A = this chain, B = another copy of it.
Amino acid sequence: MAILVVGHKNPDTDTIASAIAVADLFSKRGQEAKAISQGEIAPETAFVLEKFGLAAPEIVTDATDQQIILVDHTDISQTIDNLDKAELIAVVDHHKLGDVTTSNPLEMWVWPVGCTGTVIKSMYDFYNIEIPANVAGILLCAILSDTVMFKSVTCTDQDKAAVEALAKIAGVDDVMALGMEMFKVKSAVDGASPEELVFRDYKDFDMSGNKVGIGQLEVVDLSMLDAHKEALQAEIEKVKADGRHSVFLLLTDIMKEGSEMLIASDDAAVVEKAFGIAPNGTSVYLEGVMSRKKQVAPNFIKAFEA
């Protein structure tokens, strides 16, 4: 039975590309492995897989009695159901260390870089295994996506070096043009329902016992969202009402390098505690804030602890 390689709920391009690449890498190391996904892939990811001729992974949501490799997360709230009834044999990630635990020794490759794809590039090198061109292509896109084309504060020199090396293998001449094409697909908001937009890139966190949801929409220009804000606010109020303390939606302008944050909360004072800026009603503009992982979530975690 193949080992299942799976990323987080609400899969993004890194989660899908990393699952495919790690399945390839482990299979070539002699442990047959297969990429799966916990849910439908996003439009950006569909564009990337199509571009490099790869199929979307099968959707599987139950880990019972399987051997599992996790990519791009270590939080129980983001992982596949019944992981505690599976055997976790490896983790490849670039996030804070979450609350997943095991009862057996395992393999972990976790680095403080901008994207899981960057870690996987080094794993291929370490094991001296050649990266297939199409796998190099999707890993490259994953890094461009997670680092917002190198603009995110999470981006490191290792991410840039990985993109350079992967572009050669994938035969991509103009990395930035590919990135812009990808972000235009990601930014497309017309025709999408408010629910689709809120959950396009959404994560639940446990913060000192409070369930807190944070979504993020990255656009090339914030004004694209003007016609949608009212509906998005109504949608996050609805999501909050479903047993959460707060739901925040980051509307990130990747060109201006800042985020407007929409707020639905039982106690909006946590926003000022977290960022030192009082919200204007249910919204606040956070200059220079682009990363949920490195800027927004850690600040809220501390604010909830205080």
Contact = CB atoms under 8 A, between A and B. Distances in A.
Interface of A: 88-89, 91, 94-113, 122, 126, 154, 293-294, 297-298, 301-302
B96 A105 contact: yes
Contacts of A301: 103
B106 A110 contact: yes
Nearest to A84: B305
A249 to B, nearest CB: 21
A154 B109 CA distance: 20
A292 to B, nearest CB: 12
Given A96-B103, A96-B104, A122-B126, 4 more contacts: A97-B102, A104-B112, A109-B109, A126-B126
25 contacts: A88-B97, A89-B112, A91-B97, A96-B102, A96-B103, A96-B104, A96-B105, A97-B100, A97-B101, A97-B102, A99-B101, A103-B301, A103-B302, A104-B294, A105-B112, A105-B154, A105-B293, A105-B294, A106-B110, A106-B112, A107-B111, A108-B108, A109-B109, A110-B110, A126-B126
B106 A108 contact: no
Contacts of A122: 126
A100 B297 CA distance: 18
B97 A106 contact: yes
B107 A96 contact: no
Contact of A110 (B95, B98, B108): B108
A199 B74 CA distance: 33
B105 A95 contact: yes
Given A100-B97, A101-B99, A109 B106 contact: no
Nearest to A299: B103
Contacts of A96: 101-106
B95 A98 contact: no
Contacts of A297: 103
Max chain B C-beta neighbours (<10 A), residue from A96, A100, A154: A96
Contacts of A89: 112
Nearest to A293: B105
A270 B112 CA distance: 41
4 closest cross-chain pairs (CB), A and B: A108-B110, A105-B112, A97-B102, A96-B102
Contact of A103 (B101, B105, B298): B298
Contacts of A107: 110-112
